[in-house]
Structure 1
Amino acid sequence: MQATSFAALAVRDVTETIAFYERLGFTGPPAEVTDGTDGVHIIMNGDAPLFILSSEAEFQRDTPALAAQPLGASCVFCVGVADYDATAARIRDQAEVLQEFTAEGVFRMLTSRDLNGYAVAISEIRV
């Protein structure tokens, strides 16, 4: 699997944000990724994910360590990895894990805090 990097963004209105990025020439989500709540939506840059969008409320619920941050500062840096399981195991041993999310067969993400306080996520996307 090819490693892919992208940003996860909290947004005021998911539908309006998807339409905005589509107007810029990016494509909307090929499918919603959901855990049974609001879900997240993938904005594509050709065949590669560019952003994962979630509503502000969903982001605050799923990433409480960043809930108090202003909307524009709610970014999680996401890095696609070739071997998700091995990388996740190393992170669990070495860093504070903020969130783990799985949508079976489609998407997995583990978010941790780095030594400077940044939220950094590793991911595996199958779209």
Structure 2
Amino acid sequence: MNAPQERRTRQRIVTVQEGQPRFWLLRAGERAQLQDLSLEGFAVCVSTPPRSDEAFDFVIEHEGEPGAVRGRAQVVNFISRPGGGLAGCRFVELYEEGGTVLASWLAGHVIACSALPLREEDATRIVTGPSIV
């Protein structure tokens, strides 16, 4: 069996800090913890396989930060797990200043989670640069 092919070219950022979820997805009236997040998309645990043939509206919230990122995304991958699975989604569209807000949130999250001191420029380079894993 072949390993799943990586679709994202930007670095995926794990969304947990000190064991606590920091980013949340609101979709169809439900709130779910994001597993990872990048400027291109996200992964989220779901109880049933989502439809992949059409884009859906979403809202992303960052714990402790004002505002939200809104847009449309589409499921591009689903990995089945006991009790549900992990849906990999790509952004189809980010509304208003969503891309800028998301980049800022992710850079701040990278700084907060880093074991070593990071400058904002370094964190931004990690978030906006190519995947390093």
Q: Given the two structures, how large is their TM-score scaled by the length of structure 2? A: 0.30
More helix by share: 1
Rg larger in structure: 2
